[in-house]
A and B are shown apart, each in its own frame.
Chain A
Amino acid sequence: MGPFGKTIIPLTMLKREKFIIILTALLALLPLSQSRFYIFLGTDILIMGLFAMSLNLLLGYTGLVSFGHAAYFGIGAYTCALLMKKAGIIFPLAFIGAMVAGVLGALIIGFFCVRLTKIYFAMLTLAFSQIVWAIVFKWNSLTGGDTGLIGIDFPAYLDSSVRFYYFTLVVVAVSLGLLQRIVNSPFGRILTTIRENPERTEFIGVNVKLYQLIAFMISGLFAAISGALFGIFNHSLFPDLLYWPQSAEVLIMSLLGGIYSFFGPLVGATIILYMRMLVTSYTQYWPFIMGTILAFLLFFFPGGIVGFLREKKVFKWLK
């Protein structure tokens, strides 16, 4: 086949799918280490990695800087936990409930946000996430407010950290597979044209705001999935996880890993969480160190770590 043969570009996508499978298989071996530390860290990284990748659908692919992504994470976490704890609903249904809540939350908030652009868009996402935070913080009878929601148990059949790790791994792998499909779909391509040039995209016949809103909802869905996992993983929830620093942290993870690469945010989440684990056992100045890393990064590796490695052609195939 010629240079435009049908087999050339789709291969990279198959590679990405293959990579997810290989990665999942490798990560499935982690519990063999029998290290509670690594199983804990692994679960944490998978959850936050999915959260960061859900954000990146907006950030890297659609060009929308959401500064309030903790809202959907928190909505997912609280919905799942409250449905289980207060309504006595079984875990699978509560989990689906969290997904629905994440999508609806993103639909309502996104409906207003996509009407604005740039810094105004970012500020509005922040404002809405603070509103969601305030509701959770003040609604004591439902959420426990500042004292948090404590005693969220593992569902009966996931009642060990190893089992929950495997459950998380499967959920995250499937989610990445779906996200990967979406960014390589016609819809995903139109999102990148919106990122590059919304005005022009309108005049190839695309209803830009509608597409942005749909991206928002998909992003909210995966953020809510990661949030639901997070609540069960921690057995407790506090309003903090909806507060703005949580939104900033996930933004930093994405930037660190690289927002223009599919796996970048996952890499960023891995590095941040691993380093935080290391650093906080020596010093309490983690924010100082993270700030330094971030400043260094923005100056020297504007494309993030994966962007930098790709530029150096370390793994050309890992888009």
Chain B
Amino acid sequence: MTNQEIVERIDRSIAEEFEIDPEDMKPEKTLFQELGLDSLDIVDLVIVLETAFRFKIREEEGIRKIRTLGDIHAFVIQKKIELESIPR
């Protein structure tokens, strides 16, 4: 999966789950203030991402630093790189 495909899947999953206009899915948008999510939504956001990418991230320290949609893109891309670098 390319980084572009990862970004598209993230945006599609989040827009669908939280009923956000796809036009608003810009990397610079803040999750709370601009995309209208709240703390309950973040619980569900983790599940949406875990389901879409088949990984576990709930305990990851990095999640707490996420502020924007772009932060999610970067977090997931980094996580995928980490997982793919682990020898199976």
Q: Do A and B come from one complex?
A: no
Interface residues of A (CB under 8 A from B): none
